[in-house]
Amino acid sequence: MKILLLGYGKMGKTIERIAEERGHTIVGRIDLSNRGDMDVLSTPDVDVAIEFSAPEAAYDNITYCLKKGWAVVSGTTGWLEHRTEIEELCRAQNGAFFYASNYSIGVNLFFRLNRQLARLMEGRGYEPSMTEIHHIHKLDAPSGTAITLAEGIAAMSESVDGWKLAPEEAEGYITIKAEREGEVPGTHIIRYESEVDTIEISHTAHNRNGFALGAVVAAEWLPGRYGVFGMDDLLKNLD
């Protein structure tokens, strides 16, 4: 499979290594310094673009690829105010777009556990909160994974309507504390507190390999499909 990498930082390099180990060819490595190199690639040159760039570049990158006729796997967070536009463009172009806030299989199992716990805790006198910890280079806060977790809690709970980034707090909203430390790949802690006890679940990534492998597996799955997809679609085929 011919893969175009959009974003060539630590994550892009990890995706490159895993993709090549799985027998794929990297046809381009695009970052801010050489974005014009995409213009020399024709539609048949690329089977799928894997986009892990920066929040300010993601929308233009994804738009460019969809108009070019390339399937796109994106994991960039911090740009999702434009997500509806991208999904409409994908359908208009009869294209393929796969988005996940986190490509780790473990994290996506954690998403399911989070929703189940939120359902069990509803109405039992516990106050939910969340802490997410990432490396100092992460540009957005809270993380996309934290937002997905908060949305999962809200979907299962009549008492939670959404989320607020600490120190902001509001009745009916889960507070997310975002910490940036060293080179931490990603830790997410869900906490339920009452007057008598505390219940916690957490996911800690040890490195970027799980995220990168999930993105490559999504890229292997996407070509030949048309529409907008996410990890639930992929996991149905892996269950």
Residues of the chain within CATH 3.30.360.10 domain(s) are: 105-204
Side-by-side strand order, sheet with 2-6: 25-30, 2-6, 48-51, 71-74, 96-99, 227-229
Tell me if residue 24 is catalytic: no
Q: Is 17 annotated as a binding residue?
A: no
Task: Indicate the residue type of 113.
Answer: L
Tell me if residue 10 is catalytic: no
Rounded Cα distance, 104 and 128, in Å: 24
Residues of the chain within CATH 3.40.50.720 domain(s) are: 2-103+209-238
- 235 three-state secondary structure: helix
Q: What is the pLDDT of residues 89-126, one digit of tens each?
A: 999 999 999 999 889 989 989 999 999 999 999 999 99
Catalytic residue among 134, 137, 203, 206: 134
From the options 1.10.3260.10, 3.60.40.10, 3.30.360.10, 3.40.50.720, give the CATH code of 105-204. Answer: 3.30.360.10
Is pLDDT at 164 greater than 60 in this prediction? yes
Is pLDDT at 231 greater than 60 in this prediction? yes
Going by their DSSP bridges, the two strands 71-74 and 48-51 should be labelled as parallel
Q: Is 135 annotated as a binding residue?
A: yes
3-state secondary structure string, 183-200? Answer: CCCCEEEEEEECCCCEEE
Kindly report the CATH number that applies to the domain delimited by 2-103+209-238.
Answer: 3.40.50.720
Q: Is 131 annotated as a binding residue?
A: no
Is pLDDT at 238 greater than 70 in this prediction? no
Nearest CA to 95 out of 83, 84, 108, 86 is that of 86
Catalytic residue among 138, 188, 203, 206: 138
Rounded Cα distance, 137 and 7, in Å: 14
Q: Is 145 annotated as a binding residue?
A: yes
